[in-house]
Amino acid sequence: MRLLLGKPLAEKLYEASRARSDSLRDRGVVPRLAAVSVGVEPAANTYVQRLVSRGRRLGMTVDDVALPGDATERTVTMTLERLGREPAVHGVLLLTPLPGKLDEAHLVDHLARDKDVEGMSPYSAGLLAEGRPRFVPSTAEAIVALLKFYDVPLEGARATIVGRSTVVGRPVALLLLQEHATVTIAHTKTADVAAATRGAEIVVVAVGRAGFLRGEMISKGATIVDAGINVAPRGIVGDVDVASVSSVAGALTPVPGGVGAVTTEILLRNVITAAEQARPE
Domain 28-118 classification at class level:
alpha beta
Per-residue pLDDT tens digits of the chain, which is 281 residues long: 999 999 999 999 999 999 999 999 999 999 999 999 998 665 557 788 889 999 999 999 999 999 999 999 999 999 999 999 999 999 999 998 888 889 898 999 999 999 999 999 999 999 999 999 999 999 999 999 999 999 999 999 999 999 999 999 999 999 999 999 999 999 999 999 999 999 999 999 999 999 999 999 999 999 999 999 888 888 889 999 999 999 999 999 999 999 999 999 999 999 999 999 987 65
- Work out the burial of residue 132: count CB atoms within 10 Å of its CB; fewer than 13 is exposed, 13-18 middle, 19 or more buried: exposed
Give which of 251, 177, 172 is closest to 204, Cα–Cα. 172
Q: What is the pLDDT of residue 99?
A: 84
Q: Domain residues of the chain, as ranges?
A: 28-118, 138-260
Cα of first residue to Cα of last residue in the chain, in angstroms, is 53
- Work out the burial of residue 85: count CB atoms within 10 Å of its CB; fewer than 13 is exposed, 13-18 middle, 19 or more buried: exposed
Q: What is the pLDDT of residue 42?
A: 57
Q: What is the pLDDT of residue 75?
A: 96
Task: Using the CB atoms, write b or e for 175-204: b if 16+ within 10 Å.
Answer: bbeebebebbbbeeebeebeebbbebbbbb
Q: What is the CATH number of domain 138-260?
A: 3.40.50.720
Q: What is the pLDDT of residue 30?
A: 96
Q: What is the pTM of this model?
A: 0.94
Query: What's the CA gap between 184 and 169, in Å, rounded?
Result: 10
Cα→Cα distances 175→9, 29, 40, 125, Å:
18, 32, 31, 12
Cβ 134 vs Cβ 120: under 8 Å? no
DSSP state of 98: P
| Neighbour count for residue 160 (Cβ, 10 Å) | 26
Pairing of strands 158-162, 91-94: unpaired
Query: What's the CA gap between 14 and 8, in Å, rounded?
Result: 10
Q: Which residues contact 263 (CB under 8 A, 6 or more apart)?
A: 138, 139, 142
Fold agreement between 28-118 and 138-260: yes
Q: What is the pLDDT of residue 215?
A: 97
